[in-house]
Homo-oligomer: A and B are copies of this chain.
Amino acid sequence: MATARRTRLRPEERRNQLVALGVATLADRPLAEVTVEEIAAEAGVSTGLVYYYFGSKNGLHHEIVRRARDSMLHASEPQPELPPAERLSNTLSQLVTYVREHGPTFYSLVRGAASGDEEVRAVIEDARRQQTERALAVLLELGVPDTELLRIAVRSWVALAEQALVDGGINSDLAADELVGYLERSLGGVVAAVVPGAAEALLGASAHSAKA
């Protein structure tokens, strides 16, 4: 990146560039091993400048993991114009595409949950909370009754989805539609485990959307 050395950027552009370079390094190594020195070298700036923007290595790591989380949440953003079951199906399909294209970034998010750094873990936990809310919104719209057990079930399904995306999306060459179908139907199965009757609404609706 010889040209980067001579590029002058405005502060906000420089900050963005440094975080983007940090996210890109996740393809090669875990977040915990990303250093201020390598990011500075990649950008052709001094380590002092990186410290100026992020305060410390941890500060840099927090921004990298936030950016990675936001890219995953953005890529799987529900389409509000779709009816609930199709919206879920679309979200899961986008998520599988994202994981297939950005495996290391997604994996770094999952492994970030295993960080010793409390703020990194909080960023990941927030992503899980948002994905739980998205799935819950679909179910409530379909008329599934909102109970404590339902919330526990949906949160536990998000843990299932994360593991299935690592095992099936990154560590195997399973067909994308098989994986999407599994994620979709497993949520149906989890709801059926909580409210036998109400689940058929989701399963019926999602079978319909699969045919459409």
Contacts and interface: CB of A to CB of B under 8 A. Distances in A.
Main secondary structure of the interface of A (DSSP, over half): helix
A191 B121 CA distance: 31
B174 A164 contact: no
Interface in A69-114: 113-114
A161 B149 CA distance: 13
Interface stretch (A10-18, A20-28, A53-61, A152-160): A152-160
B121 A182 contact: no
B149 A156 contact: no
18 contacts: A32-B116, A148-B172, A149-B174, A152-B182, A155-B163, A155-B167, A156-B160, A156-B163, A159-B159, A181-B193, A182-B193, A184-B193, A185-B193, A186-B193, A188-B189, A189-B190, A189-B191, A189-B192
Interface of A: 32, 113-116, 121, 148-149, 152-153, 155-164, 167-168, 172, 174, 178, 181-182, 184-186, 188-194
